[in-house]
Amino acid sequence: MRVLSGIQPTGNLHLGNYLGAIRNWVRMQEEMPAADAATGSADSRCFFFLADLHSISEHLAPADRLRNVREMTAALVACGIDPDRSVLFNQARVPAHAEMQWLLNGTARMGWLNRMTQFKDKAGKNKEGASIALFTYPVLQAADVLLYQATHVPVGEDQKQHLELTRDIAIKFNADFDVELFTIPDPYIPKQTARIMSLRDGTAKMSKSDPSDMSRINLTDDDDTLVQKVRKARTDPEPIPADPAELEGRAEATNLIDIYAAFSGQDRAAICAAFGGQGFGAFKPALADLLVHHLAPIRDRYVALKDDDAALDAILVKGAGKAAEAAAPTLKGAYEAMGLMR
């Protein structure tokens, strides 16, 4: 079993990023047996990386890109990714990713990429003005996965199509060159992944791009801000139902209960049984307590680390060394299979 996943390095991390992506990685790391330090075996390690090469598909000031990579690294470590147990790195420091992408460009088909919904969504009406990187983004993603012979790739629903393309590329490459070079990976969509909604509008997802800061819980929010945001979160005048089926049509209420569920480990039914009949005036302080309890330690670690550029770069350099070593045999195998090297 080889777990691998990447995340786009964006700034302003919020509760949605944590519950929707980062926490799943931490869980997978915890489920893997510790790497065998004595033999130096890397078999049981998870590979997690910042997709900074992917980020060039949209223009960004260089200083912002660098900052985002470091901030995301600090957030991952603060949330529990242990750089000694997992291999944590950024793509740009491991040239094998760019090399493998170029080799896979020979296998990927225009027709396959033309079907990718993320390109269509992101390019919108301006297809002619979109970067080539935005179009070939899924081929780089395939390179990321195939280089490490990943078997399990934890991702959100929206990345399933890219993983299917990765499988298609791997199968065609193996067949075209008559090799068994690439492991065929499986997307792994964790069951308990919460989709966290805005605190101001239960139909919009919590996002860094929402203009209202009151709509989201940031990983940097202090305790008072957390309490304020929960207190001011939009709800409806009805009490919490004793039966979770009655949450139907109450998006804001459902979202607060789901956030409570994500941190307490209880399901909606248990929470409704406990708070049924009570108003949000009683529920919100309990939710705020729970958030402060779980997020304060993460925030404190994050704030302590996020501006320590030297420490963050050292983590990434060390991770990149381990990643490059793990990727090298597959890259060599691809050059050889294609008759580019022997």
- Contact positions toward ligand TRP, by CB under 6 A? 5-8, 51, 54, 141, 144-145, 153, 155, 159
Residue closer to ligand TRP, measured from CB, 143 or 197: 143
The verdict on whether 332 is a catalytic residue reads: no
- Closest residue (Cβ) to ligand TRP? 6
> At its nearest, how many Å lie between ligand TRP and the CB of residue 51?
4
Instruction: Provide the token pair at 46.
Output: 């998870």
Which positions from 124 through 163 interact with ligand ADP, judged by CB under 6 A?
156
Contact 7, 65 (CB under 8 A): no
Active site residue 122: yes
CA distance 20 to 76: 13
Residue 240 binds which one of ligand TRP, ligand ADP, none, with CB within 5 to 8 A depending on kind? none
**Per CB under 6 A, does 72 bind ligand ADP?**
no
Catalytic residue at 127?
Answer: no
Sign of CA dihedral 34, 23, 18, 68: positive
Distance CA 134, CA 66 (A): 20
Query: Residue 50, SS3?
Result: strand
Nearer to ligand ADP, 24 or 107 (CB): 24
Residue 165, C-beta contacts closer than 8 angstroms, at least 6 positions apart? 108, 112, 113, 116, 138, 141, 142
Q: How far is the CB of 8 from ligand TRP (least distance, A)?
A: 5
> What does 333 bind: ligand ADP, ligand TRP, none (CB cut-off 5 to 8 Å by kind)?
none
Exactly one of 205, 229, 306, 322 is catalytic; name it: 205
Catalytic residue among 120, 127, 160, 208: 208
Q: What is the distance of C-alpha 186 from the center of its chain?
A: 16
The angle subtended at Cα 312 by Cα 311 and Cα 314, nearest 5°, is: 65
Q: Which residues pair with 186 in a beta bridge?
A: 152
Which one of residues 6, 20, 83, 244 is an interface residue with ligand ADP (CB under 6 A)? 20
Q: How far apart are CA 234 and CA 241, in angstroms?
A: 17
Select from 48-56, 207-215, 233-241, 251-259 the region that touches ligand ADP (CB under 6 A).
207-215
User: What are the strands, taking DSSP E only, across the chain?
Assistant: 4-7, 47-50, 87-90, 152-154, 186-188
Phi, psi of 153 (to 5 degrees): -120, 95
Find which of ligand ADP, ligand TRP, none residue 17 binds, CB within 5 to 8 Å per kind.
Answer: ligand ADP
Residue selected from 27, 120, 208, 332 as contacting ligand ADP according to rule CB under 6 A: 208
Burial class (CB in 10 A: 0-12, 13-18, 19+), 111: exposed
Residue 230 in contact with ligand ADP, rule: CB under 6 A: no
CB closer to ligand ADP, 10 vs 183: 10
CA distances (Å), origin 111, targets 108, 116, 187, 268, 281: 9, 9, 22, 43, 54
Q: Is 185 in the site for ligand ADP (CB under 6 A)?
A: no
**47 phi and psi, to 5 degrees?**
-110, 120
Does the footprint of ligand ADP cover residue 196 (CB under 6 A)?
A: yes
| Catalytic, out of 122, 191, 322, 332 | 122
Under the rule (CB under 6 A), what is the footprint of ligand ADP? Answer: 7-8, 10, 16-17, 19-21, 156, 195-196, 205-209
Active site residues: 122, 205, 208
